[in-house]
């Protein structure tokens, strides 16, 4: 029976247009999904948008639109971007879709019928930006996640008996593969060990959400609504046989990939909801770090985002995909800069894979009329040929192991190690000099060198395909090998390049980028920039105390010092330096 593989991205909030932080998670999932398909798994890759809740309601209000209009617009932007980037998702779920709403209500019912929901009153602090109840906070306290001032909420709510799941969750975390990386797992374990309080799972003071079944004065807490997308999209709670079958086939998810700021929702709340509903648990939750720009987390509210479209326009999707997976150590934070992007592009793609492809294929064209030559008899072999075969086999093995542990950067390093080895091999063997000679020995040596180079190129190209699908598909066609998607990665081995294969038309896949590429991207971003203030049009919650007018820093007669009266007017603030 074919193995199934189900992978998800978080569903993105529709209060902000997509940026490369969102693209990062989507690209990582797309790459994993593509590799799984090439390994023969029946793969389902899900992404979508998270459209309910107070945060979206307020953003829509600030934009003078209805929440639905607003969600329609931004959700369409995400969808269009993924399409433009060739993201291979199998479905795109929106939480405002009927199929989702009905099935979330089914989930709520299942949890309620099993005795894990009760009515109570919540009084406490809430962060609208993170849609997070902040336990133990006082009015005016900042949100521990984003630092914004929390709002006091006092309302009748439905509560979920989260406290009942503490032991079961801790048992679950005993499996080291459930939460990765280790640092996140440890954080979650200590959070759960410190004691779990029951969780409010409905809101009654606004209406932009899914009504609680049988009590429409309440809407379901947006995180319960959003997390449920992972099961509603594949048919949970549906009455249709086809949908039920899909759910049976794909659930539980093999991988939920997320950013590190939403670990608690995925590793504590989500498994507890599933346990309460009597459903199976996902197999792994993989949290990556943040993309930083100008040293802080790239995000709309900080106003430091980089638009994906800018990079697509100038360098293409493969450049961004390769850069993010090669440059950032998965699981850790990583900085983005246009300089680093262009440098990587030139060194690894234009001068690395691109150059290897064009020099190898051009020489096969020139010296063997565009047909893959036969590596010749033992007499024309040299130890360097076998060294390439060994490096190629090691690359296949190590790439697979590292990639399947989500160590994308190291996996790519091994494939590019093979490319570098072949480059060196070509330089040492000087096929262009052999090509000048017509004697039989030189011809057969030339055939061996070019076959060896082409075969190594084929292997590096197949390994890299899930990461840089467009360019590798082009190289594959240029090599005369047909559809690269059909490659069975599990069987990839040396010696499968058919002798005599007729090459296709050759053209460069990664033209070199010069300095102007950096300037162009910077300019495009400058032109697009809207002030952060304009972007965060959320009506601000009432401040805990009225903010005083900005104090004068010096008094004219105080020798550069302020007076005690000025001092009394000052608002002192404490900040935490998160990145230096």
Is residue 11 involved in binding ligand MSP (CB under 6 A)?
yes
- Distance, in Å, from the CA atom of 443 to the CA atom of 351, rounded to the nearest integer, reads 27
CA distances from 393 to 131, 184, 324 (A): 49, 34, 26
One DSSP character per residue, 294-313 reads TTEE--TTTT----HHHHHH
CA distances from 185 to 78, 140, 169, 234 (A): 30, 30, 12, 27
Task: Please choose, from the candidates 390, 383, 375, 380, the residue with its C-alpha nearest in 3D space to the C-alpha of residue 452.
Answer: 375
Least Å distance between CB 129 and ligand MSP? 9
**Axis crossing angle, helix 166-173 with helix 182-193, rounded to the nearest 10:** 160
Least Å distance between CB 26 and ligand MSP? 8
Task: Please choose, from the candidates 507, 523, 527, the residue with its C-alpha nearest in 3D space to the C-alpha of residue 515.
Answer: 523
Is residue 412 involved in binding ligand MSP (CB under 6 A)?
no
Is residue 286 involved in binding ligand MSP (CB under 6 A)?
no
Q: How many CA atoms lie within 13 A of 114 on its CB side?
A: 17
**Axis crossing angle, helix 440-464 with helix 408-429, rounded to the nearest 10:** 170
Least Å distance between CB 376 and ligand MSP? 51
- Taking a C-beta distance cutoff of 8 angstroms, is the pair 421, 387 a contact? yes
CA distances from 420 to 167, 351, 448, 515 (A): 51, 10, 18, 24
Instruction: Report strand pairing: 42-50 vs 12-13.
Output: parallel
Is residue 143 involved in binding ligand MSP (CB under 6 A)?
no
State the residue for tokens 């943040």: 290
The strand pairing partners of 297, in sequence order, are 292
CA-only gyration radius of the chain, Å: 28
Query: From the list 21, 67, 375, 480, which residue makes contact with ligand MSP (rule: CB under 6 A)?
Result: 21
User: Closest CB to ligand MSP among 22 and 184?
Assistant: 22
Phi, psi for residue 293 in degrees, rounded to 5: -135, 130
Is residue 480 involved in binding ligand MSP (CB under 6 A)?
no
User: Closest CB to ligand MSP among 292 and 487?
Assistant: 292
Is residue 291 involved in binding ligand MSP (CB under 6 A)?
yes
Is residue 226 involved in binding ligand MSP (CB under 6 A)?
yes
User: Closest CB to ligand MSP among 231 and 342?
Assistant: 231
Stretch that binds ligand MSP, among 101-109, 114-122, 222-230, 316-324 (CB under 6 A): 222-230
- Distance, in Å, from the CA atom of 515 to the CA atom of 177, rounded to the nearest integer, reads 43
Number of residues binding to ligand MSP, judged by CB under 6 A: 20
**CA 387 to chain centroid:** 36
Structure tokens of 475?
């190289």
Stretch that binds ligand MSP, among 256-264, 313-321, 415-423, 444-452 (CB under 6 A): 256-264
Least Å distance between CB 49 and ligand MSP? 8
Least Å distance between CB 29 and ligand MSP? 9
Least Å distance between CB 200 and ligand MSP? 17
Is residue 22 involved in binding ligand MSP (CB under 6 A)?
yes
Stretch that binds ligand MSP, among 10-18, 318-326, 394-402, 528-536 (CB under 6 A): 10-18
Structure tokens of 8?
């998800």
Stretch that binds ligand MSP, among 19-27, 424-432, 452-460, 463-471 (CB under 6 A): 19-27
Query: From the list 132, 258, 315, 415, which residue makes contact with ligand MSP (rule: CB under 6 A)?
Result: 258
Query: From the list 5, 6, 17, 24, which residue makes contact with ligand MSP (rule: CB under 6 A)?
Result: 24
Is residue 48 involved in binding ligand MSP (CB under 6 A)?
no
Is residue 53 involved in binding ligand MSP (CB under 6 A)?
no
User: Closest CB to ligand MSP among 291 and 518?
Assistant: 291
User: Closest CB to ligand MSP among 282 and 352?
Assistant: 282
The strand pairing partners of 72, in sequence order, are none
Query: From the list 48, 259, 316, 375, which residue makes contact with ligand MSP (rule: CB under 6 A)?
Result: 259
Is residue 10 involved in binding ligand MSP (CB under 6 A)?
yes
Task: Please choose, from the candidates 456, 380, 462, 461, the residue with its C-alpha nearest in 3D space to the C-alpha of residue 425.
Answer: 456
Residues that bind ligand MSP (CB under 6 A): 10-13, 21-22, 24-25, 50, 226-227, 229, 258-259, 262, 290-291, 297-299
């Amino acid at each position: 029976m074919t193995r199934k593989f189900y992978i998800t991205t978080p569903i993105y909030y529709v209060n902000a247009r997509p940026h490369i932080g969102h693209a990062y998670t989507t690209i990582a999932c797309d790459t994993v999904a593509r590799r799984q398909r090439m390994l023969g798994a029946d793969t389902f890759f899900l992404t979508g948008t998270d459209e309910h809740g107070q945060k979206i309601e307020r953003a829509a209000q600030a934009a003078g639109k209805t929440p639905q209009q607003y969600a329609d617009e931004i959700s369409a932007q995400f969808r269009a971007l993924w399409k433009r980037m060739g993201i291979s998702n199998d479905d795109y779920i929106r939480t405002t879709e009927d199929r989702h709403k009905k099935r979330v209500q089914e989930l709520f019912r299942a949890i309620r019928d099993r005795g894990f929901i009760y009515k109570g009153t919540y009084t406490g602090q809430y962060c609208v930006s993170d849609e997070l109840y902040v336990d133990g906070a006082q009015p005016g306290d900042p949100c521990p996640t984003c630092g914004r001032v929390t709002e006091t909420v006092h309302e009748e709510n439905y509560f979920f008996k989260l406290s009942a799941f503490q032991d079961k969750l801790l048992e679950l975390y005993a499996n080291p593969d459930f939460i990765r990386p280790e640092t996140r797992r440890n954080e979650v374990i200590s959070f759960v060990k410190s004691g779990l309080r029951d969780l409010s799972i409905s809101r009654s003071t606004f209406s932009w959400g899914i009504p609680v079944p049988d009590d429409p004065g309440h809407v379901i807490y947006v995180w319960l609504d959003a997390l449920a997308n992972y099961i509603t999209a594949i048919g949970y709670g549906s009455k249709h046989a086809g949908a039920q079958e899909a759910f049976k086939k794909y659930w539980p998810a093999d991988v939920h990939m997320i950013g590190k700021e939403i670990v608690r929702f995925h590793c504590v709340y989500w498994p507890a909801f599933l346990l309460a509903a009597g459903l199976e648990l996902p197999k792994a939750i993989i949290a990556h770090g943040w993309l930083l720009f100008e040293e802080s987390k790239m995000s709309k509210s900080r106003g430091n985002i980089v638009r994906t479209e800018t990079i697509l326009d100038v360098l293409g999707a493969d450049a961004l995909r390769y850069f993010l997976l090669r440059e950032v150590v998965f699981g850790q934070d990583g900085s983005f800069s246009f300089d680093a992007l262009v440098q990587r592009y030139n060194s690894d793609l234009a001068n690395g894979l691109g150059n290897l492809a064009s020099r190898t294929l051009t020489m096969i064209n020139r010296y063997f009329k565009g047909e893959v030559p036969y590596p010749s008899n033992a007499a024309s072999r040299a130890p360097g040929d076998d060294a390439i075969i060994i490096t190629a086999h090691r690359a296949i093995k190590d790439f697979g192991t590292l990639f399947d542990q989500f160590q994308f950067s190291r996996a790519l390093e091994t494939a590019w190690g093979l490319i570098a080895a072949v480059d060196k091999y070509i330089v040492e063997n000087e096929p262009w000099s052999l090509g000048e000679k017509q004697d039989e020995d030189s011809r057969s040596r030339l055939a061996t060198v070019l076959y060896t180079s082409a075969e190594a190129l084929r292997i590096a190209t197949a390994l890299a395909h899930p990461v840089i699908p467009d360019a590798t598909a082009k190289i594959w066609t240029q090599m005369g090998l047909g559809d690269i998607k059909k490659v069975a990665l599990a069987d990839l081995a040396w010696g499968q390049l058919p002798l005599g294969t007729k090459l296709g038309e050759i053209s460069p896949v990664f033209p070199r980028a010069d300095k102007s590429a950096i300037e162009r991207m910077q300019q495009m971003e400058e032109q697009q920039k809207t002030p952060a203030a304009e972007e965060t049009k959320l009506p601000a919650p009432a401040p805990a105390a009225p903010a005083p007018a900005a104090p004068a820093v010096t008094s004219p007669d105080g020798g550069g010092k302020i007076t005690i009266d000025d001092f009394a007017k000052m608002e002192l603030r404490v900040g935490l330096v998160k990145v230096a």
